[in-house]
Every structure is written in structure tokens, then in C-alpha cells.
Structure 1
Amino acid sequence: ELVKGMMRPILKFAKMPVWTYDFAPHDAGTYPSCCGQVYGLNESPSRFHGDYTKKDWPETHFPIYLLPANFDAYDLNMQMPVEECANMLVMFLACYRADGQIGFFDEEYPLAEKWVKYLAEFGLRPENQLCTDDFAGHLKNNINLAIKATVGIAAYAELVTASGRIREGKEYREIAEKFAAEIVGFSEKYGHLPITWDSDGNTFSLKYNLAFDKLLSLGLFPQSLLEKETDFYLGKFARFGVPLDSRKEYTKSDWELWAASLTDDPVKKKKFVSALDEFLQGSPDRVPFADWYETETGEYHYFRARSVQGGCFILLLENKLSGKKAGR
């Protein structure tokens, strides 16, 4: 129910006239106000009222959701189309798996259908766009994003099948399997997956989006691929963890532990957990738990005590879903 509570504002905002896109929104406001998406605004809504921005970020609760469709509120280049469509579809499936009630998805079927069509058309080789790691900038042909799209499509396939749309479920399951086969085939060229479709084996990124294929038992990617990815990451560790990708030395705490969930080997998992513990103990910055930090120095970047740290509990979720008892 808490997951549904996070989704409902997004679903409601996606139906507002101001949101004119075929992909899912990034947000529905800044806590605690559901004022409409504030990420990627073209400008302050100052055409209607005074200047509502400070340091380029909205600081008040102007009702963005009431703006008309012709307001042109958002900068398309600052959106996360593949990221957010897949996020919503995976969360729909997580809710269904948790309570067995398909009604929540059925009520929002028109939106979900629009979003899965977007993924089917644009998800395998994403255009130059942002993903959740927006601080790293735009990236074309992002394979981790392609994995997320694949998982999202498979999630939708299961949902529509459960709602009685058998033919549609079969169609999208086949698309997801086709996408997965291309990704697996590409990995065989280098022994691991590069950061993009057009880069070589000298590059890498944490393919943390594989986690929910495994946790939800979607069966898209073989465990052998996940183990090869994990083994490659183990060779890239610095004192405080493994970099998010080959472009920089920084990492994200949540994505490190999502990467840890890929392997079935507890010794390998412990390497990720131990490195994060080393960061907490040895970082020179005495701030509340930072999620974006340098793997070599332990210095943090901006983010402190954010709710994304909930992702660090993924290994407990894995234990719960697999029926294992949590280790010490």
C-alpha cells in the first residue's frame, strides 16, 4: 500500500492537461506538496504569478498541475522517458505480487499501455537522455537503461495476462525476451556488458537494473550473465566501493547494493557490503549517510540522508522473496 501511495500522485498528474507526453512523469512535486512535476521545468510559472524560483529550483507550492496543455511547461531534454515508464510498470507488478489484486493496475491500464508502447519503441537503444543518475549527464544507447526497459515490458506482460488480456501479454513477453536476447548476445562479445551499445569492453557500468529481473523471477537474463557482471565489478573495486561506471570514480551506495543482489555467492555480496561499511567508517566527511561519493577518497557529493538509501535494504528484500534468513 505504501508503494501504491507513492504511485498515485504520479498517475494522477500524468492525466493532467499540462503533461502532454507519452511517457511517465519524473515526480509530482517537492515534498510535502504535490504541486505537479518540478523537474525539468522550462521556467518558473511566472507568466501567471511572480518569480517562484530560487537558484533555478522551485521553492513554493505553485499548482503546476493546473497549467494548461499549451503552456509548454517542460524541457523535453531534461526528462527521463525510459527510466520513468519502466519504473512505474515494475512497481505495478511489485504491488500485484504483494497483494494479488490486479484492480489497481486495471484502473490505470490506459496509462500503462501508453508507457509500455513507449518502451517497446524506444527502450532497447535509448536516445540521448537522462536516467536516474542525472548528475552523470545525458547518455545515448545506455545499456543499463535498456535493461530497465526490458524488465518493465516483461512486468507489463505479466500484468495484462493476469487481467485477462492474454494475447497482449504474449505479445509483450515476446518483445521483452527479444530485447533480453540482444543484450545477452552483446555481453558475450566482451564477457561483460559495456556502458553503451556503441562502446567497447574497456567500459562498464553497474547494471543494477538487472536486480528486479532476478527478484521478481521474470526469467529474462541468465544467472551466468549476472555472475559475469559481478565478477567484472569485483575487479574494479577501490577502497570505498566500485565506481558507478567507467567515466568517473564516484559511486552510489544504493546501486552498489543492488549490484550485490545480482550474485548468488554470499562472499561476493559481502565485498559490496564491506566496502560500503568502509565508507561509513572511513569517509573524511562527517555528514549524514551520503549516497553519492568518491570510491578512492570517500569524499561525498552533495547528497545527504536521502530517501534513496532505502535501496540499501535490497538484500533483505531478496532474502524475504527467496525465503532465506538474513545473514549477520
Structure 2
Amino acid sequence: MSLRHDPAEPADSAQDDGTPANGEGLSRRGLMRWTGAAGLGAAGAALLPQSALAATPKGAPAAAAARRGTPALPAFDPVRPPAVPLAVRSPYLSTWSADDNLAGTWPGFWTGRTTAMVGYATVDGDNFLFLGDPAVDSPAPRGMVQKSLTVTATRSVYVLTGGGVELTLTFLSPVEPGDLRRQSVPLSYITADVRSTDGHRHKVGLYFDISGEWASGDAGTKIGWKQEKVNGAGGASVTTMSCTPADPTVIGEKNDMATWGSVVFSATDRPGLTWQIGPDTTVRPAALKDGKLAGTSDSDQPRAINDHWPVFAYHFDLGTVASRKESAVLSIGHVREPAVAYLGDRLPPLWRSHWDTWQSMVSDFHADLPGAEHRTASLDRRIRREATAAGGARYAALCALALRQAYAGTELVSRNGKPWAFLKEISSDGNMSTLDVTYPGVPAFLVTDPEYLGLLLAPMLDYAENGGWPKDFAEHDLGSHYPDASGHNDGNEEDMPVEESANAIIMSAAYLDRTSAGNARTFATGHYTILKKWADYLVANALDPAYQNQTDDFTGFIGHSVNLALKGIIAIGAMSKIAKAAGNTADAASYLSTAKSYIAQWVDKAQDGDAGHLKLAYDQPGTWSLKYNGYPDQLLKLNLIPREVAKAEGDWYLSRANQYGIPLDIRHSYTKGDWEMWTAAWLHDHPVRDYLIDSLYDFAHSTPSRVPFSDWYDTIDDRPSGGFKARPVIGGVFALLSLRS
């Protein structure tokens, strides 16, 4: 029997994890720290000490367990994530834990497909499971007790105990604003720190492995592997193991995972480090029994991932551990060349502009760990501090949960020696650099690194200017499926004429507001022709949009849309800023005058009689919708929308609130979390702001659907809608903070 379960590939793990505790002075609106072990897999639950399993009913507070003299169930700070980001760095390095407890559940790719990782600790000869869900075989381990999980913008930190020691396990996926060299690295850290907590000295070993499932979206894929030592100039001494599809398809995907490139699993060398590549049934028992690995690589390769399940394993003999911590450092990543294709040209990843080989990059990445910890901790503190000031502790928690997800939908490449960034429309259409998927996520980049937004815009504008795009309005995307930006020169795409034209202009204006004066002028003059073309299209079409598609395409086509018209009008106003940056003062005055004229007409046409709010569409009395497109009016300081209109909308939204948010419009009970935060930013001086923050926090904290932060969810039943998960649009959470940045 294999020491792992058969791979599970759920689209949506929907186990119930109980309800928030009502006691101890915490209301539903409090910063809840309720806990529970529900969702722990059967194997993992069987390993937990019986005292922990008997501690409390599901969902009871940790303090209640402590009063009964039993171990507290894990605490969550500042939020219990719907899924915990582990290695989340790029569209193809995106692994999560879909449970409260790290032990008892397989980590999985954002799709839910298993990307197996196992962790054991051996303390004075006793074996403890702390990561993954392998079936238990001799010698059977116990389970470490998970005490807490802390989530920051860049890391997920688990604290576990067992055998008199404490293990702090940190999954750090750096976000490196302003440093393209480091941001381009497709690797993520895993660090393990162990110390004694009972005043005694303990002999400790740590074991980690991953399976070949990280290398392909099809477990029947044949893979090959190798082990090597790397030590770049000035870098760390590292042992690394890599696995690669034996028959790669370059620029392809299978189940949203790349069909080419290598998974790289590495460890910083230290005394007592051993490694092995072989079947899970051979490698794991050897580590538990012998306290070391053989340093051998299975010669039966290439072979299918599910053929005796080859695993790639490290064992760290940490020796005798006292109160001073002993550490193990690993990294995991996915490297591939080329990175993407653009109009037939295969583009290298940007990291290749800085390193000759991935091996030297890995060595430098390990050497840079102290610096990365310092830089990312500073970023974590900044986001928590500034987000708390902008919207409170619950808002800061949402920002912490959103940042890695926003950046991981993107990656950096080199095009003719210049950096570009592409974005994948994760979990919806899979399109390449979709304008209306980039648009909602823009606030995260504005807050952390506005120049990154400029890199995302570069290929979108280049395609319209030089790539053969045939229409008078902006394109929807650069290719039907990532990573191939093959364009739509035949004009056959998902047209959103007003939507995408306005998106491109608003994003460009937002970039100009945040970059240097020199960069702003260069950008505005360089792209003025295409942006003016789209602005003139909006002048002719935005005030009363025709029957057409828009970003919330799951709601269907719509004519005379009030929210779409608002977006178009604000984009016309935004074009005045672009014209000013380009030195075209006459155009600037003309566009601003048009926007002011249109907004007055819009207010009149959109009013729902004497109801005191705005309609969904001009021709649909008795309707309403979230006017999230009011946010860029505040962001760009255009101040087009009368404040009395905004106040009336806020009052109306509060009257429409459900348990977990405000519906997107009158037709459904679902909403979009990114648009809720855009609305909160637009109405930042209205009480609805706090309701929107609280309700989105409650959804993220309590949803029984354990998938990476969904932006589309139901405001009544607390579950995601339509399978949306892990999408970079969640960067929209930063909208409120962007007004202060």
C-alpha cells in the first residue's frame, strides 16, 4: 500500500468548519479568532493526541478548551483563510492548504489538484506528522498539535508542538516592490525553526518531501529527475532536486499546469542534511526508521508520476535542540524557458536577464533569505499599519490575505531586453492579459509598486499599436489562453467595447498619477494616439452604452447600463489627465468638459424617480446595482460624481445588505468582493464602507468552501459562486488603501 492517498482533485472542497464563537465578548463584527479542527483528514485526525480531539465541540473558542485543561485548538491571526497560501508566486507556482490544520490534508494547486508535500518531525525517537496526509504505515507517527496560524501579506506562519519542542513553519512567498530582479524569481521559501519548550534538550530530525504531482496536471505524465549540488558565486551551498516532464509541450497547459519546465526543490546545506529520490513507500519509512536518507536517486526513470509515486525528499538531522532554535531552509519553484509566447515570439523569463542558469538563481535565492525576510517583514508591517489606518483591523486582514494572490496571477518576462508583465485570467477563461481582469486588481499594484502596473499595460498597448488588432475599441485580451498571447487579429474575441476602452484609459491615467513626471510624459506621449482613439470612441458611445458585454459577463449582456456608462464617463475624464501629461492642453480641457457634461446627464438619466438611488439601466425603473465604477473618480481626484448622489447610493446599499455583503445588483444574491472594496473606497466617508469591510471579512473567515480567496460569492449562503478562486482581481481589496498611498 502506498504511503499516500490517491490524489484528490476536487474543484471545491466544501467541508463545514463550524460557526464563529459568540462568547468572550466577540460579536460577529469583532476581530474573530474562533477555532476548530474540522476538515482535518481522516488519517491526520487519527494521529492527533486524543486530548486534543476531545478538547471542545467544533467551533468552540480556544479559551474554553484551556479552561478544561486540554490543548487549545489553533488560533488564527488575523483571519482564518478559506485556503492558506503556501507557495504562491506565479500562475504555475500556486499551492495552498485547504484546511485549518496543516496535517491531515494534502496541499493542492489552486485548482484543488493535489501537489503533495509531507512533513515529519522526529523528537527523541518519536515521529510526528505536521504536513500532508500520507496513509499511516509502520512506524506510525503521532500528529503535532497546531497552536496557531498567522497570515501576513507575504507569509503563512504555523506554530506546532509535540514531544517537548515547538516547530515554527513559515511559507514565505516574497513580494519585492521596485526590485524586478528579485520579483522575477519563481521560487518560494519554506523555513522550519525548532526549539525546546520544556527546559530539556531533545534530539530532533525533520523530514520533507514533495511528489512529482508538482510537475504536471496529469498524474499519468512521465517525468525524469536529477539531484545536484549548486553553489553560485557569492551564493549559498545548496542541494537541489528537479523533475521535468519527459515529453514536454512548450507553451502548453494541462489542467492549468504548465506542460514544460522543471519543478525545483532545494535545501540549504547544513550538517546532517541527507536526501533521496524514490517511491514514497521506500523513502518515507526509511527516514522515519533510520533518521536519515540514503543519498540515492531511483534509476527507473522516466516514469509516470502515479507509477510508485516518486518523491523528492530531504531529512535534516538537527542534532540536540535546546531553547535556542535550530533551522532548516528549503525552497520550491517552477522554472521554464521560454516563459510565454507573444504574437509567435517566445519570450524568456525576466530572471534569465540576471542569471545564466536556474541553478545559480536558486543558490542566490537561498543566500538572500535573511535579506528577503527583512524586506518582506517591512512590507508586511507597512501594509498592516497603513491598512489598519485606512479601514481597521479587519480591512488589514483582507489586504494581508490578498497580496500574494494578486501578484501570483502575473509574471515577468523579457521582450527585446525590456521587462514586461503578463497576467493570467485564473479560474475563469484562462485568457492572456485580460484587460477587465487586470483592471479590478490594479489597486494592489498602485499601493505596492505602480511601475509594475506600467509593465502590465505595456503588452496590452503594444498589441493594439503594433500587433494587428483590427477594431476601433480596446481588445478584451491578448490571447484565448495563457501562456500564448496569439492575439485576435481576425477580430474574433469576447468584445467589450466600452468596458475595455475605459479600462485601458483609467489604468493608464492611474499609472501616470503614480509614476515620475518624466515617466508620465514618456508614457503619455508614446501611447497618446491609441489612447485618444479609444477615448474618442467613448465620447461617441459611453453616455448611453448599446446592448453589449461588460466585465460582469456572468450576468449577461446589457443595454443602457448605468454602471458601464459611469465607467466610460470617468475614462473620458481620465483622458484629460493623459492629455495634460502629454502636453496637449486643448485636448485636456475638451475631455474634461465632455466628462462634466456627460456626468450631469448621467445623473438625470440614472435616477430611479423619487426612490433616491440609481438604476441598473436607464430603461429599467425599480432596479439598482453597486456603482463600483465610482472608485476611479476618487482615485484620480476627478470629483465628477456629486457627493449627494454618492451619499444617497450609500444609504440605499445599506438598506439592501445581506449577512455576507451587498448583492452586485437586484437580479441575484451574489456579489463580487473586489467590487465591494471598490465601492467601499468610493464611499469611504459613508457608514457603508465599514459594513462592506466587515461582511467581506466574515465571508473569508467563515465560508465552508475551502478554496483560495474567491471574489465571486453568495451574500446569503457564504459560498463562492461559479468556481471563481485564486484570481488576481482580489488585488481590488487594496482600493481603500490606494486612496491614502
Partners in 2 of 1:297 and 1:276 — Cα distance? 13
Partners in 2 of 1:236 and 1:266 — Cα distance? 15
Partners in 2 of 1:31 and 1:21 — Cα distance? 20
Q: How does 1:273-292 map to 2 (within 5 A)?
A: 273-292=693-712
1:220 partnered with 2:670: no
Counterpart in the other structure of 2:465: 15
Query: Is 1:230–1:262's contact at 8 Å kept on the other side of the alignment?
Result: no
Deviations along 1:98-143, one digit per CA (max 9) or x if unpaired, are 1222210110111011101110011111111111111111011111
Query: Is 1:227–1:262's contact at 8 Å kept on the other side of the alignment?
Result: no
1:36 partnered with 2:486: yes
Counterpart in the other structure of 2:732: 311
Counterpart in the other structure of 2:419: none
Shift of residue 164, structure 1, vs aligned partner: 2.2
TM-score (norm 2): 0.37
AA partner of residue 183 (structure 1): W
Query: Is 1:141–1:197's contact at 8 Å kept on the other side of the alignment?
Result: yes
Query: Is 1:13–1:36's contact at 8 Å kept on the other side of the alignment?
Result: no
Partners in 2 of 1:79 and 1:16 — Cα distance? 19
Q: How does 1:163-242 map to 2 (within 5 A)?
A: 163-188=582-607, 189=609, 190-200=611-621, 202-242=622-662
Partners in 2 of 1:162 and 1:284 — Cα distance? 48
Do the aligned partners of residues 267 and 174 (structure 1) sit closer, same or farther apart at CA in structure 2, a change above 3 Å counting?
closer
SS at match of 2:730: helix
Query: Is 1:148–1:210's contact at 8 Å kept on the other side of the alignment?
Result: yes
Aligned residues with identical type, % of pairs:
35
Backbone CA RMSD of aligned residues? 1.7
Counterpart in the other structure of 1:258: 678
Query: Is 1:230–1:260's contact at 8 Å kept on the other side of the alignment?
Result: no
Shift of residue 274, structure 1, vs aligned partner: 0.7
Partners in 2 of 1:284 and 1:266 — Cα distance? 30
Q: How does 1:69-218 map to 2 (within 5 A)?
A: 72-75=490-493, 78-99=494-515, 100=517, 101-188=520-607, 189=609, 190-200=611-621, 202-218=622-638
AA partner of residue 196 (structure 1): A
AA partner of residue 153 (structure 1): I
AA partner of residue 89 (structure 1): I
Shift of residue 281, structure 1, vs aligned partner: 2.3
Instruction: Give the 4+ runs in structure 1 shifted more than 6 A.
Output: none
Partners in 1 of 2:522 and 2:662 — Cα distance? 41
Partners in 2 of 1:163 and 1:17 — Cα distance? 23
Partners in 1 of 2:491 and 2:684 — Cα distance? 46
Q: Which gives a bigger RCO, structure 1 or 2 (Cα 8 Å, sep 6+)?
A: 2
AA partner of residue 575 (structure 2): Y
Partners in 2 of 1:267 and 1:150 — Cα distance? 26
Shift of residue 30, structure 1, vs aligned partner: 6.3
Shift of residue 283, structure 1, vs aligned partner: 1.8
SS at match of 1:293: strand
Shift of residue 319, structure 1, vs aligned partner: 2.5
Counterpart in the other structure of 1:245: 665
AA partner of residue 305 (structure 1): A
Query: Is 1:9–1:34's contact at 8 Å kept on the other side of the alignment?
Result: no
Deviations along 1:271-316, one digit per CA (max 9) or x if unpaired, are 0011111111222212111111111111212101110000011111
Q: Which structure has greater strand proportion? A: 2
Shift of residue 32, structure 1, vs aligned partner: 5.4
1:293 partnered with 2:709: no
SS at match of 1:319: coil
Query: Is 2:501–2:535's contact at 8 Å kept on the other side of the alignment?
Result: yes
Q: Which structure has greater helix proportion? A: 1
Partners in 2 of 1:174 and 1:308 — Cα distance? 32
Partners in 2 of 1:283 and 1:35 — Cα distance? 35
Deviations along 1:227-272, one digit per CA (max 9) or x if unpaired, are 1111111111111111001111110000011111122436431100
SS at match of 2:664: coil
Do the aligned partners of residues 116 and 151 (structure 1) sit closer, same or farther apart at CA in structure 2, a change above 3 Å counting?
same
Query: Is 1:192–1:229's contact at 8 Å kept on the other side of the alignment?
Result: yes
Partners in 2 of 1:254 and 1:163 — Cα distance? 31
Shift of residue 194, structure 1, vs aligned partner: 0.3
SS at match of 1:251: strand
AA partner of residue 696 (structure 2): L
Partners in 2 of 1:316 and 1:289 — Cα distance? 19
Query: Is 1:129–1:140's contact at 8 Å kept on the other side of the alignment?
Result: yes
Deviations along 1:184-235, one digit per CA (max 9) or x if unpaired, are 22355342110001111x2111100011101211021122211111111111
Partners in 2 of 1:319 and 1:91 — Cα distance? 18
AA partner of residue 512 (structure 2): Y
Shift of residue 16, structure 1, vs aligned partner: 4.4
Partners in 1 of 2:630 and 2:620 — Cα distance? 19
SS at match of 2:590: helix
AA partner of residue 88 (structure 1): A
Shift of residue 26, structure 1, vs aligned partner: 1.4
TM-score (norm 1): 0.82
SS at match of 1:82: helix
Deviates further, 9-18 or 299-308: 9-18
Partners in 2 of 1:17 and 1:313 — Cα distance? 32
Shift of residue 158, structure 1, vs aligned partner: 2.0
